[in-house]
Amino acid sequence: MVPRCARPALALALLTTTIAGCSARSQAHLPVTAPPPKTGQQSIPAPPPAPARDPIATLVATSQRHFDSGQQELSIGHLERARIEFDQAIDVLVQSPYGARFDARLREHFDRLVDRISAYEVTALAEGDGFTEKRYEPASIDALLEESTFAPAASSPETKKTVAFDLKSTSHDIAIPLNARVLAYIELFQGRLRDWFTTGLERGARYLPMIQDVFRAGGLPLDLAYVPLIESAFNPNAVSRAKAKGVWQFMAGTALEHGLKRDWYVDERSDPEKATRAAANYLRALVLAFSGDWHLALASYNGGPGLVQRAVKRAGMADFWALADRQKALPRETREYVPMILAAIVIARNPAQYGFDLSPQAPLDYEKVKVPRPVDLRRIAEWAGTTVSEIQGLNPELRRWTTPVRHTDYEIKVPRGTAAALEARLSELTPIDTASLKWYTVKRGDTLATIARKLLVNRTDLADANYLSTKALVRPGQNLVIPVDPALLLAGRPDRPAPVAVAETRSVAPEEKAVSRATPADPVNKVKLTHQVKRGDTLFSVARLYRTTVASLKAWNRLTRDYLMPGSRLTVFASRNNHQRP
């Protein structure tokens, strides 16, 4: 059998021989060419010879195409496909007849390629370690309430005329007075805040059918479906300065009171459907507390029922507009909040009448798949044939890049038509294939505090990740998820010790026993091994093989670069009992 690395050269030689033979046979049947023209006769100039192909440039271009494809796959969260393309970008060079370092151009391209792929590997692992919390966005309510610190400009006669006609021709299920406060905000939303209002309305089209269904079933006014336009511009990832979150901007205590769960992995305030059901219950309770007055109920949604009830009691009147006319009866933001909501309802019911040309987003359409164990969202996206951003958009309640660790049969939403493919992949996998998590097995005498110090993690994070209180006792043999930043393991910082007794940075089931690691400076009870680097090896894959860290490998071998050359040798100190032979 011809060695794999020799096949391209042999194929090239056979191809050359075949071409030469065909050329000789063809020449035997060619007609005799005419003699060259005599002097004075006009001759036809021969065509210029075709430029010779540059095989090095061709190799570099082919390798670059695979690398670019890998970048594209990585940008949408497809780790496996990205890895295949990155490997192919290297293989094209390594398996060529010239080798990866034959020519200066090849050497430069190869070195730059390996550096960039290695950097991508570290970054991808760090971003998808399961513990990096997703980014949130400022809630619109904060900016709008800042606007309310200045009295809105008076509305024009044209605006008043338009709104008056609209209120007569449109049936509302909440009373909307034609007063200066409401008119001022209608004009503001038509003018300076038009772009923001447009974005909120277009985004809201994704959720309005669901919200209206919930409110209709609960006997609530459908006009209230537009409250999130002011609260969050219908953004599930919105967080206010007061730490309210989600489309309906629930505070943590109010959310818990109305059945929304929150832990290290999930915050149901960001789930539009669950938060809408909670909001329906809350609004129903508020309107009952104020004898059916929706203006006071909305004021309570902003300022809290206690604040509004005290204002009503002090003033001796249960009328929002009368209270709003008294500057000291209610906080300014609460006085302005209600007319903001009413103005948003007026425009949202008839946007074209107020000059809005919308491109509404399509309503959400998804299927649910039960996930029996923690799964990296990037893998779910790849198996479902979609992007990570799409998976996160359908599941905004997930705070991190993984499904919950200890929620049995967690249901994740995926685009309609992709559930079967995801279920098939999940059924084929073992626990170690599904999430990038790290585990620690508790030893005798360990406490959360000592484990946190030993593993260089925050004790509160350690407790929260394992559904424990910070004062909880742990027992020997118990497996704990370790919320450790993988950059500590992968960046190779010499000034920080490697975490002790952390399993390798891969998916491991809780029942798998974690294996202790020693730092480079402390190879006690270790056996010295030599690893010959094979094609495709990286510092991370070798560290994982010997259950050590990238930092250790670099220190033991005095490495300054992040890539490995096939054929080179690495010194490795592995556990006498637990090392794995390559």
**Matching CATH number, 137-354, of 2.40.100.10, 1.50.10.20, 3.30.70.20, 1.10.530.10:** 1.10.530.10
pLDDT for position 77: 62
Closest listed residue to residue 369, CA positions, set 355, 381, 352, 359: 381
Burial of 227 (0-12, 13-18, 19+ CB in 10 A): buried
Domain boundaries, the chain: 1-9+57-128, 137-354, 366-431
131: confidence class by pLDDT, cuts 50, 70, 90: low
> How far apart are alpha carbons 540 and 30 in whole angstroms?
62
Residue 267 confidence (pLDDT) above 90 = yes
**430-455: per-residue pLDDT in tens?**
655 555 567 788 999 999 999 988 87
Q: Residue 449: which residues within 8 A CB-CB, separation 6 or more?
A: 459
| Structure confidence at residue 8 as a pLDDT band (50, 70, 90) | very low
User: In the predicted model, is pLDDT for residue 27 greater than 50?
Assistant: no
Burial code (b: 16+ CB inside 10 Å, e: under 16) for 131-156 equals: bbeeebeebbbbebbeebeeebeebe
Residue 257 annotated among the catalytic residues of the structure = no
Q: Which of 337, 31, 324, 357 is nearest to 198 (CA)?
A: 357
Out of 68-72, 179-183, 202-206, pick the least confident: 68-72
Residue-wise pLDDT tens digits, 473-521: 999 989 888 875 433 333 333 333 333 333 333 333 333 333 333 334 4
Of 324-338, 358-372, 511-525, the range with the lowest mean pLDDT is: 511-525
Of 106 and 122, more confident: 106
- For 507-530, the DSSP string reads ---TTSPP-----TT--TTEEEEE
Percentage of the chain lying above the pLDDT 90 cut: 41
Top pLDDT among 560 and 463 is at: 463
Q: Does the pLDDT at position 122 exceed 60?
A: no
Q: Is 137-354 the same fold as 1-9+57-128?
A: no
Residue 160 CB burial class (10 angstroms; 0-12, 13-18, ≥19) = middle
Looking at residue 223, its pLDDT comes to 97
Residues 6+ apart with CB under 8 A from 54: none
Is 387:355 a contact under the CB 8 Å cutoff? no
Radius of gyration of the chain (CA): 33
- The Cα 134–Cα 457 span in angstroms is 19
Instruction: Please choose, from the candidates 386, 460, 373, the residue with its C-alpha nearest in 3D space to the C-alpha of residue 418.
Output: 386
* Among the ranges given (30-34, 330-334, 525-529), the one the predictor scored with the smallest mean pLDDT: 30-34
* CATH, range 1-9+57-128: 1.20.58
Active site residue: 73, 121, 187, 231, which one? 231
State the chain's mean pLDDT as an integer.
Answer: 78
- The upper half-sphere exposure of residue 134, i.e. CA atoms within 13 Å in the direction of its Cβ, equals 25
Q: How far from 544 is each of 182, 206, 527, 581, CA to CA, in Å? A: 63, 44, 16, 12
> What single string gives the DSSP state of each residue in 6-47?
GHHHHHHHHHHHHHHHHHHHHHHTSPPPPPPPPTTS--PPPP
List, for residues 386-445, the tens digit of each pLDDT value. 988 899 999 999 998 888 877 667 899 999 999 999 999 888 876 555 555 677 889 999
Contacts (Cβ under 8 Å, ≥6 apart) of 130: 374, 376, 400, 401, 402, 435, 436, 437
330 burial class (0-12, 13-18, 19+ CB within 10 angstroms)? buried
